[in-house]
């Protein structure tokens, strides 16, 4: 059943569905600690239960200008390659079962989204992009340059 469980959230101004098994938790953050010299999508560091997490701003990954972190903002905590990251979310909507099958991404997406989106899924009369959080961790090469 876990396969059908999705987190519906609005990240980088877009409603997306994230597969729940990829997600560690959803928490709120205070003011993160900046990392001077880091790539632009690194919004900072914050501590959670004795662990240090790297905060990622999905806006930058998609190609949008960065947004400031508001205290109390909710973030989606994911583990990638033994490191803890958190994706800044504009809004966390719901965790729900979606019975509909994941379908191939149809239509042309913006290059930023095309890179992170795995599939699409139908939910409550709307099409949502199914994204893999780990794709947000690394910046596309052209961005880093």
- The site for another protein (CB under 8 A) is made up of 33-39, 42, 45-47, 50, 52, 54, 81, 83, 85, 137-139
Instruction: Name the percent of the chain in helix, strand, coil, to the closest 5.
Output: 15, 45, 35
The H or E element spanning position 78 is: strand 73-80
**Residue 6 or 53: which CB sits closer to another protein?**
53
**Residue 50 or 106: which CB sits closer to another protein?**
50
Q: Minimal distance in Å, beta carbon 39 to another protein?
A: 5
Q: What's the alpha-carbon Rg for the chain, to the nearest Å?
A: 15
- Please say whether the beta carbons of 62 and 112 come within 8 A: yes
Q: Minimal distance in Å, beta carbon 36 to another protein?
A: 3
Compute how many other C-beta atoms are within 10 angstroms of the C-beta atom of residue 116. Answer: 22
Q: Minimal distance in Å, beta carbon 3 to another protein?
A: 25
- CA distances (Å), 137 to each of 38, 88, 132, in order? 13, 12, 10
**Residue 15 or 143: which CB sits closer to another protein?**
143
Q: Minimal distance in Å, beta carbon 14 to another protein?
A: 23
**Residue 8 or 56: which CB sits closer to another protein?**
56
């Amino acid at each position: 059943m876990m396969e059908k469980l999705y987190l519906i959230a609005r990240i980088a101004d877009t409603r997306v569905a994230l597969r729940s098994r990829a997600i560690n938790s959803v928490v709120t953050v205070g003011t993160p600690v900046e990392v001077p010299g880091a790539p632009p999508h690194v919004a900072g560091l914050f501590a959670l239960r004795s662990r240090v997490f790297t905060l990622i701003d999905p806006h930058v990954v998609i190609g949008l200008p960065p947004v400031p972190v508001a205290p109390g903002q909710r973030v989606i905590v994911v583990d990638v390659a033994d490191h803890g990251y958190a994706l800044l979310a504009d809004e966390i909507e719901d965790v729900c079962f979606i019975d509909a099958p994941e379908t191939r991404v149809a239509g042309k997406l913006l290059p930023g989204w095309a890179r992170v989106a795995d599939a699409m899924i139908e939910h409550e009369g709307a099409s949502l992009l199914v994204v893999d959080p780990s794709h947000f961790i690394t910046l596309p090469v052209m961005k880093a340059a």
